[in-house]
Amino acid sequence: MAARSTLTQSNMAGWGFALPAFALLAVFIILPFFFAFAFSLTDQRLISPNPTRYVGFENYERLLGMNILRIEPARDDAGQIVRDANGDPTYPRVRTFTRNNPDLPHLQGMREWFGWRSGDDRVVVLARDVLFMKSLVNTLTFVIAIVPLQGGGALLLALLINQRLRGINAFRAIYFMPVVISIVVVSLLWRFIYDGNDGVLNNILHGLTLGAFQPIDWLGRTDTALASIIVMSAWQAVGFHMVIWLAGLQTISPTYYEVATIEGANKWQTFRYITWPGLRNTAVLVFIVITIQAFALFAQIDVMTNGGPLDSTQTLVFQAIERGYGKQDISGGSTIAVILFFVVLAISLVQRYLTRERT
Amino acid sequence: MIKTALVAASSLVLATTALPALAQTELTMWYHGAGNEVESAIISQIIDDFNASQSDWTVSIESFPQESYNDSVVAAALAGNLPDIVDVDGPVMPNWAWAGYLQPLPIDQSKFDNFLPGTKGIWDGQLYSIGLWDAAVALYARQSTLDELGLRTPTLDSPWTGEEFMAALDAAKASGNYEYALDLGMAWTGEWYPYAFSPFLQSFGGDIVDRSTYKTAEGVLNGDAAIAFGEWWQNLFTGGYVPGTSQDPADRETGFIEGDYAFSWNGNWSGVATIEAGVDDLVFLPAPDFGSGNVIGAASWQFAVSTASEHPDGAAAFIEFATQDAYLTAFSDALGLAPSTASAAAATKNYSSGGPMEVFFGLSNDQGLVRPVTPGYVVAAKVFEKALADIANGADVADTLDAAVDEINADIEKNSGYGH
């Protein structure tokens, strides 16, 4: 009852304080979301003299349309399978099925996303928008890799700096520094670090291995580009989450640690049975925040790779902006934004469910 | 006491400065050259001269950095705040004209008869924009390199064929003197790709869209000629002739000058700097001919009048004033770009007869081909850029070009044919 009366008494003041934040959220987050949802059902362009038309779920179909095609191997006149030098069967090109093929009109314009061999046949998964599918996979890969890397790294740093040592503030400042620097500046600097010829990273590896290491074009190779961006992004924001962990660490009462020492617990036991349970709520916050931020991956891509090489670093937000502004297709960009919203919402709900208070 | 004196003084100042403005109508102008001091100085000079030359109009300028200029204009148009005069990049002009941002220039087209073709922005049969200069691209080489490798010097009348061009690259590669035989400028992402590389595709016989209808890219961007182009393009990278998409922008600036690259595909705006950096036997070679003629991109930044302008006659008066030979010469001397008229070229340092960059004027005049004149170009250019980068990185040629065609066609369809 007491809580309720305080709330009623300070209701006006409370709303007054919250109002600016609510107004900003409404104008810059909630309203644009409804706009995005509305635009995703139309053919809205950024600039166009043509009137906007309602197109239903066409934009969603264009993005999400998929199909499976089973391709039989090419056969010669005698009906024998044509095999290449390795003895593998050869197949007609996918484009013979998906381009101007009157028998398969529903596959028109689709492209191969990935495929595998099944017996002598080849099974190909076709997507109407392969670029979107790749962006989705890259974004999810980024999220799955960065959550443990950034969250764990931040916790480690927080444990290290949560000590009373001379000059510990200098370390805190150093670890926090990348957070204060603009992500655009950080990305530009890391481009030099990752440079394929004489980048800092290549030079260090070259020196450490006494010249045995061959320089790698980190951002120019499909197998290293995304990983390079993951490492750099984890480094950039690790300081921010370190501070949150540190705040959590300092809420744990020192008496628990004293008890642990008296009971003769070792360092690992202290962490496992005192520190970690004490950080429960902090952990939920840190992991949800990292997940949501990770889905918004854009600036690093825009500055460092532009989605390349070969779409290995395309992400959903990069594609949304590229389509909405670069290609003047507001409806296409909005559709990606709406899909991204539901993906993030679903994942956040699952995370909340998994980390709920169990009584 | 002091306060009153101040107020009196300031109102006096206001009155005296406001008086002439009452007689003259103010025109606003937006320009893309913020950050370039030389360019800003010339454009300010033109405006001062114009304002002093007559008493009807006074032009005031606002400059934007080039990277964000187009976005600013689009945002202003959406918000209804366009200035009277805008400058516009040639290939983007049809998009803005179609969207209703620009009005046809209220100037008789015959006034610009002697202008280079690429400097005239014509959409739907009407002149919308006019440029004070044109940009041109050539193959930079050292005469000493040509002599050393025993190569014929190509000319406009008899350019290198595709085979000769590849033989030249092979010779440069085999000499072992260069890190790469050719520098295409892959570090310059953005409009450079369609501007500098689509002429190769056109020389193979393909194009970005079918210019007879502007309704489809099918058959031109993924036909046999385009696939031949794509395979040639990919071979430049897999064969190790050219630095790839991850080229360091600094290497692009200095690689040719330092002798790391035997040839460089570069614009006339870099010519003066390259000569000044010490390449004294620099020669500008015309684009090779891959079978369907040798072409280079044309059209650079141009002036136009926005639909928001209430005084198109004033804006037109300014544009006519700015397109005098004296100013074309001034821009050319300062920036190294090709002036729009032959008479202005004769007065320039670099393009006059015997000048170091004279050849570019001929290149622009003979080889210049504007990028597809369609509002859809803005999107097609981005699709083309990505396709070229992907092919350079090893993507399947036919599949990549198919995908590009589908995307361009879907965009044309989504825009009900862009008014063609």
Structure tokens at A184: 């655009």
Residue B209 forms part of a structural domain: yes
Q: Closest residue of A to B401, CA-based?
A: A95
Contact A217, B246 (CB under 8 A): yes
Residue B19 forms part of a structural domain: no
Q: Closest residue of B to A307, CA-based?
A: B386
Inter-chain CB proximity A327 and B382 less than 8 Å: yes
**Same domain for B31 and B48?**
yes
Kindly state whether A46 is in contact with chain B, defined as any CB-CB distance less than 8 angstroms: yes
Q: Compare CB distances from A47 to B77, B390, B410 and report the shortest one's residue.
A: B77
Residues of B in contact with A307 (CB under 8 A): 386
Nearest CA to B377 among B135, B219, B229, B191?
A: B191
**Same domain for A217 and A117?**
no
Nearest CA to B412 among A357, A17, A48, A116?
A: A48
Range of the domain at A186: 131-354
Please say whether the dihedral angle defined by the alpha carbons of residues B385, B217, A319 and A34, taken in this order, is positive or negative. Answer: positive
Residues of B in contact with A49 (CB under 8 A): 98-100, 419
Chunked in runs of 10, what are the mean pLDDT values of chain B (420 residues)? 49 46 81 86 93 93 88 88 93 93 91 90 93 91 94 90 95 93 91 94 95 94 96 96 87 92 92 86 92 88 94 94 93 87 89 83 83 93 94 93 93 89
**Same domain for B305 and B324?**
yes
**Same domain for B278 and B318?**
no
pLDDT given at position A21 = 95
Q: Which of B347, B370, B393 is the last residue of a domain?
A: B370
Inter-chain CB proximity B189 and A130 less than 8 Å: no
Residue A21 forms part of a structural domain: no
Q: What is the ipTM of this complex?
A: 0.83
Chain A closest CA to B395's CA: distance in Å?
A: 7
pLDDT given at position A74 = 86
**Same domain for A122 and A151?**
no
Helix (H, G, I), strand (E, B) or coil at B55: coil
Residue B12 forms part of a structural domain: no
**Same domain for B163 and B239?**
yes
**Same domain for A212 and A92?**
no
- Chain A interface disruption, residue of B123, B246, B251, B307, most A CBs within 10 A: B246
Residues of A in contact with B71 (CB under 8 A): 325
pTM as predicted? 0.87
**Same domain for B292 and B332?**
no
Rounded CA separation B71/B52 (Å): 32
**Same domain for A203 and A118?**
no
Structure tokens at B372: 């597809």
Range of the domain at B222: 137-296+376-419
Rounded CA separation B59/B85 (Å): 9
Residue B13 forms part of a structural domain: no
The domain spanning residue B39 has which CATH number?
A: 3.40.190.10
Kindly state whether A278 is in contact with chain B, defined as any CB-CB distance less than 8 angstroms: no
**Same domain for B400 and B255?**
yes
Residue A6 forms part of a structural domain: no
Chain B closest CA to A57's CA: distance in Å?
A: 14
Rounded CA separation A111/A100 (Å): 13
**Same domain for B244 and B388?**
yes
Kindly state whether B253 is in contact with chain A, defined as any CB-CB distance less than 8 angstroms: no
CB < 8 Å from A in window 135-194 of B? 189
**Same domain for A120 and A258?**
no
Inter-chain CB proximity B414 and A222 less than 8 Å: no
Question: What percentage of chain B reaches a pLDDT higher than 90?
Answer: 63
Chain B closest CA to A245's CA: distance in Å?
A: 38
Q: Compare CB distances from B246 to A48, A220, A311 and report the shortest one's residue.
A: A220
Inter-chain CB proximity A47 and B71 less than 8 Å: no
Q: Compare CB distances from B389 to A48, A195, A308 and report the shortest one's residue.
A: A308
Residue B5 forms part of a structural domain: no
Kindly state whether A101 is in contact with chain B, defined as any CB-CB distance less than 8 angstroms: no
Residue A297 forms part of a structural domain: yes
**Same domain for A117 and A155?**
no
Nearest CA to B87 among B329, B331, B369?
A: B331
Inter-chain CB proximity B419 and A195 less than 8 Å: no
**Same domain for A249 and A100?**
no
**Same domain for B165 and B148?**
yes
Q: Residues of A74-112 as b/e, b for ≥16 C-beta within 10 angstroms?
A: eeeeeeeeeeeeeeebebeebbebbbeeeeeeebebbbb
Residue A135 forms part of a structural domain: yes
Inter-chain CB proximity A50 and B395 less than 8 Å: no
Residue A139 forms part of a structural domain: yes
Number of structural domains, chain A?
A: 2
**Same domain for A246 and A136?**
yes
**Same domain for A259 and A188?**
yes
Residue A11 forms part of a structural domain: no
Rounded CA separation A117/A124 (Å): 9
**Same domain for A77 and A144?**
no
Residue B1 forms part of a structural domain: no
Residues of B in contact with A310 (CB under 8 A): 390, 393-395
Kindly state whether A224 is in contact with chain B, defined as any CB-CB distance less than 8 angstroms: no
Q: Which of A127, A148, A170 is the last residue of a domain?
A: A127
**Same domain for B150 and B275?**
yes
**Same domain for A78 and A166?**
no
Residue A51 forms part of a structural domain: no
**What would the pLDDT profile of B52-65 be if each residue is shown by its tens digit?**
999 999 999 999 98
- Chain A interface disruption, residue of B414, B416, B418, B420, most A CBs within 10 A: B414
The domain spanning residue A305 has which CATH number?
A: 1.10.3720.10
Inter-chain CB proximity B393 and A308 less than 8 Å: yes
Rounded CA separation B359/B340 (Å): 14
**Same domain for B43 and B148?**
no
pLDDT given at position B353 = 85
**Same domain for A265 and A325?**
yes
**Same domain for B33 and B71?**
yes
Residue A61 forms part of a structural domain: no
**Same domain for B255 and B243?**
yes
pLDDT given at position A341 = 93
Residue B18 forms part of a structural domain: no
| pLDDT tens digit at each of 359 positions of chain A | 445 555 556 678 888 889 999 999 999 999 999 999 999 999 988 888 888 899 999 999 989 999 999 998 888 888 888 888 888 888 888 888 888 888 888 888 888 899 998 888 899 999 999 999 999 999 999 999 999 999 999 999 999 998 888 888 898 889 999 999 999 999 999 988 998 877 899 999 988 988 888 888 898 889 999 999 999 999 999 999 999 999 999 999 999 999 999 999 999 999 999 999 999 889 999 999 999 999 999 999 998 988 878 999 999 999 999 999 888 899 999 999 999 999 999 998 998 888 787 76
Residue B108 forms part of a structural domain: yes
Chain B closest CA to A356's CA: distance in Å?
A: 45
